[in-house]
Amino acid sequence: PLNQPLVCIPCRIKAHCKEDRATFCSANENTGIIKTARVLDRETRDRYSFIAVTPEGITVEVNIQDINDNAPTFNQSRYHTLISENLKPGSSILQVFASDADEGENGDVVYEINRRQSDPDQYFTIDSRTGVTTAFVTIHVRDYNDNQPTMTIIFLSEDGSPQISEGAQPGQYVARISVSDPDYGEYSNVNVTLEGGDGKFALTTKDNIIYLICVDQLLDREERDSYDLRVTATDSGTPPLRAESTFVLQVVDINDNPPLFDQQEYKQSIPEVVYPGSFVLQVTARDKDQGPNGEVRYSIMHGHDTHSSWFAIDPATGIITTAAPLDYEKDPQPQLTVLATDRGTPALSSSAVVHVALQDVNDNEPVFRSNFYNVSLKENTPVGTCFLQVGTTVRPEGFVHLYQVLWVHSSDAICMTLKVCAGQHAALSQVGGVGSGPGLGIEMGQGPTVGVGSGPGQE
């Protein structure tokens, strides 16, 4: 400071050192006190010399002591550097330099990072003596391709699982894929590809960030019910890094196939005399669909002009049984229309025809067309003359009717015989006469009564 006493000597200042071009002190001749005449700066000059006029004529030398009046200053106001993100810990980044005009401890510079204003996570350190890293330092970290892309796949089915309906049309979306890469710049440019699916699926995008898997061709679960798909995301680094996701896409069934019978026509032969509930035959239909869409139920289409009510069918097994007595004489070949219906929505069905041939049995007596026949003959009718033809209305298949004369009611001994004719008919003729002459001797108003019987016999 100014007027600061330096020394007290009865004197006056005679001269300063040659180096001192300006007076830095003054002396009071009465008191001998020498004081500073201006502000001192050790960093500008650290030593002064002058002659004090005294009886002895002494030389005074003044050494300026340092005070810590100078802050360290960096040789640059800002530092820049570029480092790789895969730099190993402990690697040198850069060296900063600061100098202090003071001396001794006042001029010793110690370096540290201002954590309040920068690098709070302490990614960097600095050597407190050498200053390796910052003054105000901007460090650009150069990206290194050390992160593979990430993918998020969201399936667009109702339950979020990898599945698609076989009824999906081309263009319908299957899944949404979002991709990202933590790396910076060119390394974040990700290319996504789709593999598998036999050309049934395609990949589309508008911004190279969101990708969509969509149906590209019609599907058929009955042809193939699942597809193995693989999605690959590859970045643009060197070498490139990639991420893969593999999944199985299930094709969900729709009711697009009706049940189909093994045969369009079935034939079966059974006796007409069987108990209700007797087995006839079993029909089978198969449905390519899955679940309820492929479950088959059987039924009979009943019509008024058929005898389908004689039969019943098990809805689960397709076994046809008799439900009522059968009658060959009413319908020797009843015909059924059988339906096979699935349980889909809407239900699909198909039909088949069942032909049942009834085997006739001898369950009906022959019946004459008339209970009484009346014939008039001349009494001189020759022996062997066929004078009457009788017949029955019922003849079981495989059987013939045998006719015989059961009795003759006449006053004369008359012999009759039956001759079987074509079909179900028989002819009655005379084989003997009355009296001495041939022929039939009958008076007017009188005549024999003949009883004729019929019974079955094998052909």
Residue 210 resides in a domain: yes
Q: Are residues 199 and 267 in the same domain?
A: no
Q: Are residues 154 and 248 in the same domain?
A: yes
Q: Are residues 264 and 342 in the same domain?
A: yes
Q: pLDDT tens digits, residue range 19-74?
A: 444 466 676 667 667 777 777 777 777 777 666 666 666 677 777 777 878 888 88
**Could you give the residue ranges of the DSSP H alpha helices within 168-317?**
none
Q: Are residues 176 and 155 in the same domain?
A: yes
DSSP string, 131-169: -BB-SSEEEEEEP-S----EEEEEE-STTSSSEEETTPP
Contact 233, 242 (CB under 8 A): yes
Residue 418 resides in a domain: yes
Residue 265 resides in a domain: yes
- Evaluate if residue 315 carries a pLDDT over 60: yes
pLDDT-based confidence at 259, cuts 50/70/90? Answer: very high
- Residue where a domain stops, chosen among 233, 252, 271: 252
Q: Are residues 406 and 322 in the same domain?
A: no
Residue 436 resides in a domain: yes
Q: pLDDT tens digits, residue range 62-106?
A: 777 778 788 888 888 888 888 776 777 878 888 888 888 888 888
Q: Are residues 245 and 300 in the same domain?
A: no
pLDDT of residue 108: 84
Contact 144, 85 (CB under 8 A): yes
Mean pLDDT of the chain: 78
Q: Are residues 169 and 200 in the same domain?
A: yes
Please give the Cα distance from 172 to 285 (Å, whole number): 34
Residue 81 resides in a domain: no
In DSSP terms, which residues pair with 417 in a beta bridge?
429
CATH of the domain at 344: 2.60.40.60
Q: What is the pTM of this model?
A: 0.55
Q: Are residues 237 and 280 in the same domain?
A: no
Q: Are residues 279 and 203 in the same domain?
A: no
CB-based contacts of 322, cutoff 8 Å, min separation 6: 270, 274, 275, 276, 277, 278, 280, 310, 311, 312
Residue 398 resides in a domain: yes
Please give the Cα distance from 233 to 236 (Å, whole number): 10
Residue 353: phi and psi, rounded to 5, are -105, 135
Cis peptide bond N-terminal to 162, omega within 30: no
Q: Which two tokens stand for residue 308?
A: 């389908």
Q: Are residues 231 and 268 in the same domain?
A: no
- Residue where a domain stops, chosen among 252, 281, 315: 252
- Evaluate if residue 444 carries a pLDDT over 90: no
Please give the Cα distance from 265 to 282 (Å, whole number): 12
416: domain range? 386-458
Count how many domains the chain has.
Answer: 4
Q: Are residues 355 and 425 in the same domain?
A: no
pLDDT of residue 352: 97
- Residue where a domain stops, chosen among 252, 285, 318: 252
Please give the Cα distance from 87 to 144 (Å, whole number): 9
Residue 70 resides in a domain: no
Residue 219 resides in a domain: yes
In DSSP terms, which residues pair with 286 in a beta bridge?
260
Q: Are residues 9 and 33 in the same domain?
A: yes
